[in-house]
């Protein structure tokens, strides 16, 4: 063994234990965060690339932590997903989106993310319908973003759920498209209105990426779906996507996710 190896091991061990404690502490804090009004729902505009107008918004949750500051979802969605907290968080997001639609008179759609555990909640459809009714929101204004990982447990159950949501008037988009496992045959069976092309294809948009994006866009259009390109940061990317007849775009080029109030003041 190397000199100091034992100490290093102890050091790692300590660090691991510290990390585990931090995780548990944060998980406990998240449990009370909702009741203490520490969650925020930011909105990121989705642009119609033909008209250059804002067509809708994606709702993205943040946690205004009293000590750590504003935390992005990658810091806490995973831990919520590991516990029952994801349900409470998920329905908070839904209610808050409804509230903002009224408060800011949003007339496009608002897209809401569903994690696999939420999607597989047997109460999902019933709960969503009752929240929409309580807030007097037209289901047509809500789009649900699901990832391919929501669908892999049981594809037949997933299709039943998606169909029930569509029957209730909501629309579905397939998020992070191109990164998962869904076969083209499966895509045909899904009642999905939009494909969201993952940022990883948009980032460099080299020759290979362009061919893939072009193919995905063609496929979507053949199946009567629209495409949204995620993560557009530069005008160069925008021009290429425009030339490929990409329908919608989203990214820092247009705006980062922000509180609705700030988006409207801009």
Q: Give contact residues for ligand C2E (rule: CB under 6 A).
A: 44, 60-61, 72-74, 77, 90, 93, 113-115, 118, 145, 175-176, 231-233, 250-252, 257
Q: Which two tokens stand for residue 69?
A: 């500051």
Find the binder of Ca ion among 110, 112, 119, 175 (CB under 5 A): 175
Please, which residue, 147 or 217, has the CB nearer to ligand C2E? Answer: 147
Q: Which two tokens stand for residue 262?
A: 């700030």
Residue 143 site contact among Ca ion, ligand C2E, none (CB < 5 to 8 Å, cut-off depends on kind): none
Residue with tokens 């990658």: 74
Q: Is the sign of the CA dihedral 172, 138, 110, 49 positive or negative?
A: positive
Question: Using CB under 5 A, which residues numbered 112 to 131 contact Ca ion?
Answer: 113
Residue 252 site contact among Ca ion, ligand C2E, none (CB < 5 to 8 Å, cut-off depends on kind): ligand C2E
Q: Which two tokens stand for residue 106?
A: 């949003």
Q: Assess contact for 44 and 262: CB atoms under 8 A.
A: no
In whole angstroms, how close is the CB of 247 to ligand C2E at the nearest point? 17
CA angle at residue 182 from 78 to 72, to 5 degrees? 25
Q: Assess contact for 201 and 217: CB atoms under 8 A.
A: no
Residue range at the interface with Ca ion (CB under 5 A); choices 19-27, 110-118, 187-195, 220-228: 110-118
Considering the rule CB under 5 A, would residue 176 count as an interface residue with Ca ion?
Answer: yes
Q: Assess contact for 175 and 194: CB atoms under 8 A.
A: no
Q: Which residue is nearest to ligand C2E (CB)?
A: 251
Considering the rule CB under 5 A, would residue 209 count as an interface residue with Ca ion?
Answer: no
């Amino acid at each position: 063994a190397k000199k100091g190896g034992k100490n290093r091991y102890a050091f790692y061990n300590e660090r691991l234990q510290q990390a585990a404690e931090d995780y548990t502490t944060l998980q406990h804090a998240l449990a009370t965060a909702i009741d203490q009004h520490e969650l925020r729902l930011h909105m990121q505009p989705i642009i119609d690339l033909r008209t250059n107008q804002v067509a809708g918004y994606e709702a993205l949750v943040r946690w205004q932590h009293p000590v750590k500051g504003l935390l992005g979802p990658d810091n806490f969605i995973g831990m919520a997903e590991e516990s029952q907290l994801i349900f409470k968080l998920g329905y908070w997001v839904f209610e808050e989106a409804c509230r903002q639609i009224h408060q800011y008179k949003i007339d496009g759609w608002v897209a809401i993310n569903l994690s696999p555990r939420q999607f597989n909640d047997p109460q999902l459809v019933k709960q969503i319908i009752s929240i929409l009714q309580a807030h007097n929101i037209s289901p047509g204004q809500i789009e649900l973003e699901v990832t391919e990982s929501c669908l892999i447990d049981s594809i037949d159950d997933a299709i039943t759920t998606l169909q029930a949501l569509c029957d209730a008037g909501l629309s579905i988009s397939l998020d992070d498209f191109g990164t998962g496992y869904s076969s083209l045959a499966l895509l045909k069976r899904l009642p999905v209105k939009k494909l969201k092309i993952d940022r990883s294809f948009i980032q460099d948009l080299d020759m290979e990426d362009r061919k893939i994006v072009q193919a995905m866009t063609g496929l979507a259009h053949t199946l009567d779906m629209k495409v949204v390109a995620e993560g557009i940061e530069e005008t160069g990317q925008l021009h290429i996507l425009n030339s490929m007849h990409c329908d919608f775009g989203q990214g820092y080029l247009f705006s980062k996710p922000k509180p609705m109030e700030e988006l409207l003041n801009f």
